[in-house]
Amino acid sequence: MARQQKTIITCAVTGAIHTPTMSDALPYTYDDIAAQAIDAAEAGASILHLHARDNETGAPSVNTDDFAPFLPRIKQATDAVVNISTGGSLTLSIQDRINPAATFSAEMCSMNMGSMNFSFHPLAKRYGDDDWKFDWEKEYVANSDGNIFRNTFRDIAEAAKTLAPHDIKFEHECYDVGHLYNLKFCMDIGLFKAPIFVQFVMGILGGIGADIDNLVFMKKTADKLFGDDYRWSILAAGASQIPMATTASQMGGHVRVGLEDSLFIKRGELAESNAQQVAKIRRIVEDLGSAIATPDEAREILDLKG
C-alpha cells in the first residue's frame, strides 16, 4: 500500500484500564477529560478516542450521563473527530458497551475484533514502584475471570448491526494476527464494508508483543487480506508507544498515543498530559519529513461521513 501523504494522530485520552492511583496526569473528571482532550487536539490530534469515567471515583463508565458533560465541550472547542469507545470495560455486556456510541451518533467508534485475556503487562507496573512484586496468583489466578475481554462473533455482529444505521466509521482494534482474519471473515459475510480502518494494538498481555518483526507481520498480513482497501494505525502499550508509533509512521501507518495506552512520555518517566504525548509524536513525524493530518484531512483519508 502506498505511503500515506499525511499522518493521522489519534489521542486516546483516558481509557478504562489505568486507574487514577497510577498517575496524577490521568484525567477522569468531566472537566479534566474535556480540558485534556481539547489540549490534545490543539497539539495535533485529529481524532479523539474517548471513554467516560465516574466524575467522583474515576471508575470506568458507559453511562451516557457521564459522557454528556464533556462531549459538547470538546465538539464546541475543537474540530477533531470524536471516536467513542465500545470497549467499555471488561465486565460489561456488548449492549452496554455500544450504547454511548449509538446514543451520541459518533463519527467513529472502536470495534474490538476478538476475545482475549486482556491485561497490561505486569512488568510495566515496576516503573515508579520499586517495592512492587508481581504476584501471579493474586493478579491472574484469583482474578482470572476479570481478564477475559469478550468479543465473540455474535458480539461483533450485534455491535455492527446496531451501529450500522448511524453510519459510524469503525476503528477495528486487532490485538493479534488472528484478529485480522476475524475482520476479513466479518467483511466476507457482509458485516463491514471497505475501506476499513485497522488499529494494530501491540503490547497488551494476551495479544501480540510490541516489536518491529511483529509490526511487519501484521502489516504484511493486512496487505494480503485487505489489499488497497484499508488504512491502518498503530497503538503500542506502555513505554513502547512512541518508538513503535515512530516506526509505523515511516511505514505509511497512522499513529495513536494517549494516556489510555501509556502513562509514560519515555521509558521510566510518567507523561504530564495527553497533549505532551501528542506533541512528542507530532514533532518526531514532522522532523522525519511527514506532515500531520488536520481533522478534515483525517475525515477524507478515512472516508468518514463528515
Residues that bind ligand KMH (CB under 6 A): 12, 15, 17, 85-87, 110, 112, 173, 201, 204, 260-261
Q: How far apart are CA 203 and CA 190, in angstroms?
A: 30
Tell me whether residue 32 or residue 173 sits nearer to ligand KMH (CB atom). Answer: 173
Beta carbon of residue 213, minimum distance to Zn ion (angstroms, whole number): 26
Beta carbon of residue 288, minimum distance to ligand KMH (angstroms, whole number): 25
262 binds Zn ion (CB under 5 A): no
Question: Which of the listed partners (ligand KMH, Zn ion, none) does 234 bind, with a CB threshold of 5 to 8 Å by partner kind?
Answer: none
Report whether 65 contacts 304 (CB < 8 A).
no
Tell me whether residue 127 or residue 290 sits nearer to ligand KMH (CB atom). Answer: 127
Q: How far apart are CA 110 and CA 97, in angstroms?
A: 10
Q: How far is CA 25 from CA 129, 136, 259, 281, in A?
A: 17, 28, 8, 18
Is the N-terminal amide bond of 243 cis, ω within 30° of 0?
Answer: no
Beta carbon of residue 199, minimum distance to ligand KMH (angstroms, whole number): 8
Q: Are strands 81-84 and 47-50 parallel, antiparallel or unpaired?
A: parallel
Q: What angle do CA 245, 2, 168 make, to 5 degrees?
A: 70
Question: Which of the listed partners (ligand KMH, Zn ion, none) does 204 bind, with a CB threshold of 5 to 8 Å by partner kind?
Answer: ligand KMH
Q: Which of 14, 46, 85, 151 binds Zn ion (CB under 5 A)?
A: 85
What single letter denotes the amino acid at residue 1? M
Beta carbon of residue 204, minimum distance to ligand KMH (angstroms, whole number): 5
Tell me whether residue 64 or residue 290 sits nearer to Zn ion (CB atom). Answer: 64
Burial 241-252 (b: 16+ CB within 10 A, else e): bbbbbbbbbeeb
- The contact set with Zn ion (CB under 5 A) reads 85, 87
